[in-house]
Structure 1
Amino acid sequence: MLSSSLIKPLLIIGGGGHASVLVDILRAQGREVLAVVCPDDISMRRVFSGIRHLTKDDDVLAFSPDDVLLVNGIGMLPASGLKRTLNQYYLSHHYQFETVIAESAQVSPFANVEVGAQIFAGAIVQAGAQIGAHSVINSGAVIEHDCSIGHYNHIAPRATLCGQVITQDDVYVGAGATVIQSIMLAKNAIVGAGAIVTKHLSVNQICYPSRATIKTL
């Protein structure tokens, strides 16, 4: 365990719902959050109370990279590169990103979680799993044994990846989706919410789930 003197304070990039969940996790862990960086009004989110509000991306540059760590609180949408773009901007200025793991997440000591990854409440990451840098394992998602998750993935709430699934970079798996064992999802693949994936997905492919039909009686 790191000495408390080595734990750096944090700057949160983004002020929406994803950022609010991260701040909730970090505050519960006793971490010091210096500021939230967001151009929009954040006053309606109580979790940000008492935290300094910065409105410009470049406001971060007033802090030395040696003195703070960043947490990217931008939620990911399918095929959106905003999170990666912001990360690369700050990395080019020598900032580093903190890894965030909720206390209620179950992460095997035999799993590997790379820098900047975020694992939310109730998520399960089993033995032998690899979680790539800056990927999000959202609330209640399950990453089974020996899965390999690429960089900048977003595994949405309650999604399940069965054993030995491989995802390349920038993959999005929607809420409640299931990917059966040993499937490979190539770069930029998208799995819709509730889908069941039984075949490999190639680069830029989308797997759509069946949709409920709504009729008036």
Structure 2
Amino acid sequence: MNKPIIILGNGGHASVLTEILLLQNRKILGFTAPEEQTNSYDLKYLGTDVIFENYNPLEVELVLGLGTVGISNVRQSLYKKLKNQGYTFVICVHPRAIIASTATLDEGTQIMAGAVVQPHVQIGENTIINTGAIIEHDCIIGAHVHVAPGTTLSGNIQIGDCTHIGTGAKIIQGITIGSHSLIGAGAVVVNNISSNQKVIGIPAKSHRI
């Protein structure tokens, strides 16, 4: 049975997730934020993240509504903190996303409208596959990754943990990208990328972060 949901955050990414949850008729208790705020969906402000000390982790589920625009440890740190407290994060999939039956989605995965996830794809925990992104067959995507809107990953690509793939980037088949790297918006990646790299251009060239 579905449990009531608390959304962490109140920005644009949280709004997109709220839409998905409402389409699924999920009960939303409210949201957290660093200070009291209004909400465009009239959701209740519950307080800061301190409130989670007062809830039973077995009675609610969480949705992490903080997006990323580059490499950031905030999502990962908050996710791990609340997991250590016993909380569970919802897998959010927009009804207009296409997910192959053989794809696997770990806890907290978020897949937005128009995204396509093809057969035998593996997506790690707390990863965002944003609007209109295409993940072709047999890709392996790590944890805490953000694949931004309009991105195309061809087949058999591996993406390391905590990497950000910028809007509209394209990665050819068979490429491996390390962890904690940033692929710039519109980049075309044709060579393997090691960890802790910033990659920009067509064809993309890397620079150590």
TM (norm. structure 2) is: 0.94
Distance between the aligned counterparts of 2:100 and 2:115, measured in 1? 11
In the alignment, which residue of structure 1 is the partner of 2:153?
161
**How far is 1:41 from its partner?**
5.2
Question: In percent, how many aligned pairs have the same letter?
Answer: 37
In the alignment, which residue of structure 2 is the partner of 1:3?
none
The one-letter code matched in structure 2 to 1:171 is: T
- Structure 1 gap segments, 5+ residues each: 1-5, 211-217
Please tell me whether the aligned partners of residues 15 and 40 of structure 1 are also in contact (alpha carbons under 8 angstroms). no
In the alignment, which residue of structure 2 is the partner of 1:29?
24
Distance between the aligned counterparts of 2:69 and 2:51, measured in 1? 25
In the alignment, which residue of structure 2 is the partner of 1:208?
200
Please tell me whether the aligned partners of residues 174 and 194 of structure 1 are also in contact (alpha carbons under 8 angstroms). yes
- RMSD, matched Cα: 1.1
List per-residue Cα deviations over 1:36-56 (Å, max 9, x = no partner): 10124542x42x31x210231
List per-residue Cα deviations over 1:122-155 (Å, max 9, x = no partner): 0000001111111000000000000000000000
Distance between the aligned counterparts of 1:27 and 1:42, measured in 2? 20
List per-residue Cα deviations over 1:32-84 (Å, max 9, x = no partner): 010110124542x42x31x2102311112222101001110001132210001
List per-residue Cα deviations over 1:80-120 (Å, max 9, x = no partner): 10001111111111111111000000000111111110000
Please tell me whether the aligned partners of residues 35 and 48 of structure 2 are also in contact (alpha carbons under 8 angstroms). no
Q: Flag the structure with larger Rg.
A: 1
Distance between the aligned counterparts of 2:201 and 2:47, measured in 1? 39
Distance 1:119 1:40, change over 3 A: same
Report whether the alignment pairs 1:171 with 2:163: yes
Distance between the aligned counterparts of 1:73 and 1:115, measured in 2? 14
Work out the number of aligned pairs and report it: 202
Distance between the aligned counterparts of 1:104 and 1:200, measured in 2? 32
Q: Structure 1 segments of 4 or more deviating over 3 A?
A: none
User: 1:23-102 counterparts in 2 under 5 A?
Assistant: 23-40=18-35, 42-43=37-38, 45-46=39-40, 48-49=41-42, 51-102=43-94
In the alignment, which residue of structure 1 is the partner of 2:121?
129
**How far is 1:15 from its partner?**
0.6
In the alignment, which residue of structure 2 is the partner of 1:120?
112
